[in-house]
Structure 1
Amino acid sequence: MNTSTTNRLNFYKFFLLVLLIAFLNGCVGTKQFKEGKYVLYKQKIVAPKHVNKEELTKQLVQKKNRRLLGLPIFYYAAIYNAGVKKFDSSKYETKKEAISLKFDTKISKTGNKPNKIASLNTKKNIKLLKQDKYLKEGNLFMRWGEPLVYLDSSETQKTIKNIDNYLMANGWFNGYSNYNVKYVLNRAYVSYNLTTNKPYLIDSVYLDIKDARIDSLLNKHNYTTTLISGERYEQKKLVKERNSIENYLKNNGYFDFTKQYIKYKIDTTLGNHKLAINLSLLLPAAKSAHSFYRIDSVIFTADASSQNINSLNRATDVYKGITYRYFEPNYAKKVLNRRIFLKPDMLYSKENTLSTQSELANMDIFKFVNISYDTTGGNFIANIFTSPLSRYQFSSETGLSISSYGLPGPFVSASIKKRNIFKKLGIFEIDGRIGVEGVASASDQDNVYSNIESGVNIGLTFPQFFLPLTEDFKLKLKLHDPKTLVQLGVTYNNRPEFKRTILNATNSYSWRITKTKQFTFKLIDINLVRTPFISNDYLNRLKELDSLGNNLINSFEDAFVSSFSLTYTGINNYYGQGVVGKYFGTTIEPGGTFNSLWTSSQIINKDTLQLYSYLRAQIDYRQITPKSRRGKLAYKIKIGAAFPYGENGVLPYEKYFFGGGSTSVRAWKPRRLGPGAYDHTDEDGNVTYQFEQQGEILLETSLEYRQKIIGILQGAAFLDAGNIWTLEDEPTRPGSQFKFDTFIRQIALGGGVGLRFDFSFLLIRFDAAFKLVDPARPLGSRFILNSGFYDAPFNNRQRTEPVVYHFAIGYPF
């Protein structure tokens, strides 16, 4: 029997063993089943395809117990039962009595000292609340776990009522539901069955509005209703319509209007499953119309929290209709004016009010920004109250950090910030950082070395564009949070193979098109790169590659790298809870476009520095979808391409793409995947992942299921796929070139499991990843279950590393 067959048999044995363990442990958490009771094991909703199953699931009153990866293992119930066995309520009652006696005795001996008595009472209450928490929620195991959920017929009837109400609220007025229960051993399987019948459609919408001005606004001024004739009736659309009308009117002067004035009547007597909606907008009591407001004046108070007793000492200055009040003239009113969207004689607008508050808060100048309206005296006055943050701020931080290709290591960082630089509302900041990480050697993947990285940055940020733009255009930009950043920095990197210093200068502009979508344009991004040291082993490898036509060595010569770039980022609740979160980012970066300008002006000497010309682009999409009470499905796809077109034919080393590592395809060590079908064998015919592998094309995707197990502990199962490729055929790395007819067969696949420890402020991650498809192996033996997968030279597990372990900080994406 050959090695491949033996390994396949071992795999099947392992798989059967897992199934056996799952079967034998099927009773975990069920040993304390109550006699005559049935555990709610499964709930199923049978409904037509046009009914939203996710919304129906929310109608279930009882929630079944969570199980381990869907297996019949009630581990939360087992944990809860373990806690119940050790729980003794009398112990906590006794502790409460002892605490009360202890503190009451201390208080009685305190005498007439109110502050001390109050302090003792506070401590006493804190300790008593802790014991009350134990009495109410149980001990730690009981809080981590959950009791077994038994089928309750009364709760099932409530679910039926919820489903029927849902059908009514969504236009299925003649719909109905029922349920049936199947009992197997001590378990109950509940099936809810829905019949919707024909839905009621909206035939017409009538507006009954007594206020003439509001009637004109809604009928003549392009108000768009969400109630469309011919669509199915949905109660949530009525709620949305009420909110929409309220917001519309509040943005058109109606400061004190509320949606309680909006009423609906539904007429279902039209026949043919059609209905009419009558929308009535009521008038205020004893009034013939709703009041609307125009702003009489806008008052900006720059130091609302000042302790200066005599507020009469505040200076008053009017700039373009806004009254500024301050003790000291610290702010440029011209800049502030671009962030204030409230002006005299404008109609009151809730949207402009919130935008003003948001834009002023985003400047990182003010401690708080409050906006209120004063209607006394017959005037409508907008008051903007602000309080400045400390002009100087120092912060420092220590902790663990990790890059995409390394092991966690300690770091120390510090920053000094000065706000309102030059009294132009800008921010001047100096920050420094030094850290150590464990990284796989670029020339010896079996060893991990310390990588020292340090850097210092000096930056200036201003809340406006420093560009030759007209004042009118700058005012149009004010809703988009425009910012200018000028930054100068230096980074030092000390690796076993080389030492590298990068001096960087950037000038970038950022703006938002919505609250969740942002553009960043780097007009100037200049890097002066020096590599004063390259180890002999690595230098010899680079020279060997150079002699075979691979000019990677040029990437390690002293260089001048210039580029500009445009980046778009869209984030939709990616870090939120309970709903689908999405992230999308893309960058396009032309490099070396103006090299001729630098050389012709003799700013740069191309005889002593390498110059690069390239075009680099990258797309990154991620999504997190809730799948259960504590489970999430995370997905990522990343595509990148870089095209060098300069005389040296290479990219700066930092601009290449790499595969493998804790945030990439985890079944390969950092930067060891690919390129393409390159087989990683040396001149002796042995598999070696000695050297980092770079490429110009990247394709990478991941699918990961995450679930909370207990307390701070989370579990994960994942699949990663991807690879890197070169643009041109390389004799030194045969099979590395990207080709449309072969790249699919060169996608690497890895899978694995992991644990995460979520401390809220820090997440520590352990992943174990297995190679499932290895494109470096011959066709026909790339899949782990295929014959020949472990044939020579891939039978040396120490070299091929079928399992790779990662210790990291934070989620992989």
Structure 2
Amino acid sequence: MLNILTADLVLKAKDINLFLLLLLTSACSLTRNVPEDRLVLYDTKVSGVNKEDRRNMQGLFKQTPNTRIPIFNGSLGVTLYQIGALTFNEENLVARRQQARMERDSLNVLLSGVKTDRERRKLTRKVGRRDDRIASLNRNLSYGNFLMRTGNERVLYSPELMEETRKQLQFYLSNNGYFDAEVTEVLRQRRKKAYVDMQVSAYTPYLITSFEEVYADTSLYQALQEYPNPIRLGNRYEQAVISRDRQAIEDFLRERGYYTFNKSFIQYEVEKNSATQELGVKRLISANEQGRPHQVFVLDSIQFFIDAPSEALAGRNQSQRFRYRDIDFRLYDERYSERILASRVFLRKGVAFKRSDVIETQRQLANLDIFRFINITFEAVGDTLIPRIFTQPSEKYQLVNQLGASITEQVPGPFFSHSLRNRNLFRGAEIFEFNFRAGLEGVVSATGEGGVFRSREVSTSGSILFPRFLTPVRLFQVDQIGRYNPQTRLLLGYNYVDRPEYNREGLNAILGYTWNTRNFRQQFTLNVVDANFIRSSLSDDFNAILEDLQNQGNNLINSFLPSYVSSVSGQAIFNINQYGNFQKRSASLLRLYAESGGTTLNLLQPEFVKARNLAYFQFLKFQADYRRFIPLEGRQTMGYRLNLGVAKPYGVSDGILPYEKYFFAGGSTSIRAWQPRRLGPGSFTPPVLENGGFDYRFEQPGDILFEAMFEYRTKIYGYFDGALFLDIGNSWTFFEDPTRPGAQFQWDRFLTELAVGTGVGLRMDFDFLVFRLDMGIKAFDPARPMTERFILGDFFRRFPGLPGQMVFNIGIGYPF
């Protein structure tokens, strides 16, 4: 499986030729070679309505113009489609498909007469390859070749489709209370271009002035007394509100035991007064199919079935039966902890049916990751329901191998990863995982003069995930906290990194707990043990650099001494409206992280630390990361991120943090106009090269980090999105650094040390993968003298600006 990781890649300015090529190829006019009797659909709009309705109605057009690049009067999507159409040969594709079908049929004939397993497997693979070829040819015949599928066919004005659009808009207005409104299409033609304006008249809404409820089943009247009625007097009539009301009443009653009730029992009558443009709404709720009152159902004992793990064994009787709480378990073979399974079942005997309990049971059983599926059915006997839970175990052993490429600083390199998963390890729904990863990457050396050097990394780990809290003293009953998906994680891992400057290997152990709230909006992690033994071997050149820094008062060399780093950390994530899905509603995410390193050293005498050959660290670290996504009109969105972090060494650390605990600024997920991890700290000025640019060979660690990133995104066409961004931020140190003047944070000057970068980006969104290219431009560089820090004008005066002013970053996924 090909897998590409999130990464940064700094490109040279000459690669902007790619952008210029794309622009030139899209310069072909949309109106070129258009048939005499046809028009290119150039613009559509809706007039005579408010902003919200205009946005909604614009999305109902059956035809939309091609996305165009300003000035050029052309569309890159159309250009790609037309290039693909030049090489599209339908007759050839049909002939190739027929040939592939004949070859497949011949292979199937041979397969039916094969006697050995080896020949059967060989022929089966050949048949599979022919099937894949036929599927590919069918896709090309249906949707065109790759360029045609990536691009867009030129949109020509269609009177028939516009009439359908007009009717759809009329229907929308009626559903939203504008019963008297009329939609008229106004077509304007100019130079083979069609401009369509859907004009709305009599745009006055009908208001709800009366509301009445009629119950054929009077028992529901009391049940619905606490129901929050969304139909309000004085509001504009909206069919969507009526539809939501029907579904909400069904959900409300099914949450209170009315298992057989559904929205088909709810009807509405609307009476309009055209003279006053007012209307009345009557809600009618009928009795059940037999004309009797709706029943409240109570649950009986729960039956839990775990079927055979494979289809070959399916249908055999469950050989193990046992009862726990009010649940009758029937298992095929392998034993599971009934206490753990019961903690994830929230159906109780003698309790009224609740729809939310059914959904929560399915969700929490799925979170155990030991079942392929979870189906819950109910059998009604009088006013009693018999719940039945049907499951089938997932594969006990799961192997996953991945081969891909990762990009960090310069050149992408290959990696291989292997993982093994063993489910239900101790018969208590535990999961054991073994992971191995090895990769090569291209990085910048801190000791070499330019060029790209090889970096190797090997890591392996073994972990066990328990679906409960493991503590020396039982703090919670398993049944009490099953709704919060409690987990305990034990991990032991090893990591080895071979860079030009150093070799670094580490052994780490983690004991952590995770849980989340029932609605999954809040997720919590607590690592009570995070212990790391680290050993580094420095090259002679790099060691000389660190010793030189030490002689000047910078003890960064301590970060590379043999060391023991231990910490206690906690993280809380608050996710509102499913941030990350980037749908049509606003969403936000807040991540809070706190860590205390070397806390247990406070209980020991200083002589204990001095007598050891290992370096120890004590530090406090905090980070707050807030992100927000805001949809705008059409296919445009706005997003921003605020990121603040502080890490303060104390005690035996001697002012130094473990290298992995520092903050770094710059890169594709940070301030994008600077190379990865090279911005700052503060107003520190790196050495100047012969061409006048700065020497960015060295990473710049800091104790304090601030980042503010703003990004406007818009759809271009097909898979392609565009972006404009503005990034502000920097890193600083708590203490004065003699080797990096200006690095220390000072309240009276930190505002003037905020770096500002801007730029444009191109995203290719394939749903399962977002490939990103950002061009960042330094606008305000705090490394320069105070009067020379604003340099945005240099970029426009002499393209591509000052040396190093423009930086290209490649990344996978959105920056935030």
TM range (shorter): 0.7 to 0.9
Relative to structure 1, is the Cα distance of residues 99 and 537 closer, same or farther in structure 2, using a 3 angstrom cutoff? closer
SS across alignment from 1:68: coil
Please name the residue that 2:61 is paired with: 60
Cα distance, 1:628–1:312 mapped onto 2, change above 3 Å: same
Q: Which of 189, 194, 198 is residue 188 of structure 1 equivalent to?
A: 194
State the Cα distance separating 1:639 from its structure 2 match. 2.5
Residue 158 of structure 2 corresponds to residue 148 of structure 1: no
Contact persistence 1:574–1:580 (CA under 8 A): no
CA distance in 2, matches of 1:657, 1:181: 59
DSSP-derived class of the 2:166 partner: helix
Structure 1 position 154, deviation (Å):
4.2
Relative distance call for 1:374 and 1:38 in structure 2 (3 A) is: same
**Deviation digits for residues 27-50 of structure 1 (CA, Å, limit 9, x no counterpart):** 434312222433221223345556
Please name the residue that 1:353 is paired with.
Answer: 358
| Letter of the structure 1 residue corresponding to residue 398 of structure 2 | Q
3-state DSSP class of the match of 1:446? coil
Residue pairs, 1:301-380, within 5 angstroms? 301-304=305-308, 314-328=319-333, 330-375=335-380, 380=385
Q: Secondary structure at the match of 2:77?
A: helix
In structure 1, C-alpha distance between the alignment counterparts of 2:732 and 2:367, rounded to whole Å:
42
2:9 corresponds to? none
Shift in Å at residue 380 of structure 1?
2.8
Match of 1:393 in 2: 398
Would you say the 8 A contact 1:22–1:73 is kept in 2? no
Partner of 2:264: 260
Match for residue 756 of structure 2?
749
- Paired letter, 2:678: R
Q: Deviations over 1:334-364 (max 9, x none)?
A: 1111101112222222221221122111112
> In 2, Cα distance between the equivalents of 1:126 and 1:489?
41
Q: Is the 8 A contact 2:694 2:804 kept in 1?
A: no
Q: Is the 8 A contact 1:30 1:78 kept in 2?
A: no
Letter in 2 for 1:240: R
Structure 1 residue 244 displacement after superposition: 1.0
Deviation at 1:604, TM superposition (A): 6.1
Identity %: 32
Q: Is the 8 A contact 2:67 2:717 kept in 1?
A: no
The Cα of 1:460 is off from its aligned counterpart by: 1.7
In 1: Cα distance, 2:179 partner to 2:764 partner: 49
Quick one: which of 564, 567, 570 aligns to 2:571? Answer: 567
Q: TM-score, normalised by structure 2?
A: 0.84
| Matched letter for residue 149 of structure 1 | V
* Partner in structure 2 of residue 735 of structure 1: 742
**CA–CA distance in structure 2, aligned partners of residues 363 and 350 of structure 1:** 21
The aligned amino acid for 2:29 is: V
Asked if structure 2 preserves the Cα contact closer than 8 Å seen for 1:30 and 1:74, the reply is no
Q: 1:391 to 1:787 in 2, by over 3 A?
A: closer
Partner of 1:9: none
Task: Report the counterpart of residue 557 of structure 1 in structure 2.
Answer: 561
Give the counterpart letter for 1:217 in structure 2. A
Aligned in 2, Cα 1:438/1:807: closer, same or farther, shift over 3 Å? farther
* 1:4 paired residue number: none
Displacement after TM superposition at 1:218 (Å)? 0.8
1:584 paired with 2:566, answer: no
Deviation at 1:593, TM superposition (A): 6.3
SS in structure 2 at match of 1:247: helix
User: Alpha carbons of 1:413 and 1:677: their partners in 2 closer, same or farther (altered >3 Å)?
Assistant: same
Gaps of 5+ in 2: 1-15, 115-119
Q: 2:247 corresponds to which residue?
A: 243
**2:804 alignment partner in structure 1:** 801
- Aligned equivalents of 1:217, 1:422: Cα separation in 2: 47
Structure 1 unaligned runs (5+)?
1-14
Residues 227-284 of structure 1, C-alpha deviations (whole Å, 9 max, x = no match): 2334333221111111111112222223332212111122344986554321111223
| Equivalent pair of 1:506/1:522 in contact (CA under 8 Å) | no
For 1:517, the aligned partner's letter is R
Q: Matches of 2:509 and 2:22 in 1, distance apart?
A: 59
Looking at structure 2, the residues matched to 24 and 99 of structure 1 have their Cα atoms a distance apart, in angstroms, of: 36
CA contact (8 A) 2:703 2:734 kept: yes
CA contact (8 A) 1:504 1:525 kept: no
SS of corresponding position for 2:645: strand
1:77 partner amino acid = V
Q: Which residue of 2 aligns with 1:653?
A: 659
Match of 1:455 in 2: 459
CA 1:165/1:414 → structure 2, altered by over 3 Å: closer, same or farther?
Answer: same
Q: Which residue does the alignment assign to 1:35?
A: 36
Deviates more, 1:294-303 or 1:78-87: 78-87
Q: Secondary structure at the match of 1:232?
A: coil
- Alignment pair present for 1:638 and 2:638: no
CA distance in structure 2 between the partners assigned to 1:216 and 1:445 by the alignment: 81
What's 2:468 paired with?
464
Give the aligned residue type for 2:460: V
Provide closer, same or farther for how the CA distance between residues 757 and 60 of structure 1 changes in structure 2, counting only shifts above 3 A. Answer: closer
Aligned equivalents of 1:21, 1:119: Cα separation in 2? 41
**Alpha-carbon distance in 2 for matches of 1:310, 1:761:** 37
| Contact in 2 for aligned 1:46/1:193 (Cα 8 Å) | yes
Q: In structure 2, what is the equivalent of residue 8 of structure 1?
A: none
Aligned to 1:775: 782
Cα 1:311/1:213, change in 2 over 3 Å: farther
Matches within 5 A, 1:408-427: 408-427=412-431
Q: Is the 8 A contact 2:683 2:753 kept in 1?
A: yes
Distance in 2 (CA, whole Å) between partners of 1:172 and 1:557 is 75
Change (3 A) 1:20 1:394: closer
Q: Which residue of 1 aligns with 2:173?
A: 167
**1:298 CA displacement:** 0.8
Which stretch shows the higher mean deviation, 721-730 or 315-324? 721-730
| Partner of residue 678, structure 2 | 672
SS of match in other structure, 1:771 = strand
Change (3 A) 1:189 1:761: closer
Alpha-carbon distance in structure 2 between the residues aligned to 1:808 and 1:361: 32
Post-superposition shift, 1:125? Answer: 9.1
Cα 1:479–1:539, aligned 2, differ >3 Å: closer, same or farther? same
TM-superposed CA distance for 1:465, in Å, is 1.6
* Change beyond 3 A, Cα 1:538–1:125: closer
**What is the DSSP-based 3-state SS (H/G/I as helix, E as strand, rest coil) of the residue aligned with 1:238?**
helix
Structure 1 residues 524-533 or 263-272, which shifts more?
A: 263-272
Match of 2:437 among 416, 420, 433: 433
Q: Pairwise CA RMSD of aligned residues?
A: 4.3
| TM-score, scaled to structure 1 | 0.84
Match of residue 732 from structure 2:
725
Is contact 1:28-1:75 (8 Å) kept? no
Structure 1 Cα separation of the partners of residues 616 and 199 of structure 2 = 70
Deviation at 1:705, TM superposition (A): 5.9
The one of 283, 289, 295 equivalent to 1:285 is 289
* Deviates further, 609-618 or 262-271: 262-271
1:535 aligns with 2:539: yes
Task: Give 1:186 shift.
Answer: 2.0
Post-superposition offset of 1:374: 2.7
Q: Using the TM superposition, give the Cα deviation of residue 673 of structure 1 relative to its aligned residue in structure 2, in angstroms.
A: 0.9
Of residues 566, 591, 612, the one that matches 2:617 is 612
Which residues of 2 match residues 485-496 of structure 1 at below 5 A? 485-496=489-500
Does the C-alpha gap of structure 1 residues 578 and 706 become closer, same or farther in structure 2, counting only changes over 3 Å?
same
Residue type at the aligned position of 2:531: N
Q: In 2 relative to 1, CA 122–667 (structure 1 residues): closer, same or farther, beyond 3 Å?
A: closer
Q: Check whether the contact 2:170–2:181 (CA below 8 A) recurs between aligned residues.
A: yes
2:463 & 2:516 partners in 1: Cα distance? 21
Query: Once the 2 structures are TM-superposed, how far is the Cα of residue 64 of structure 1 from its aligned partner?
Result: 0.8
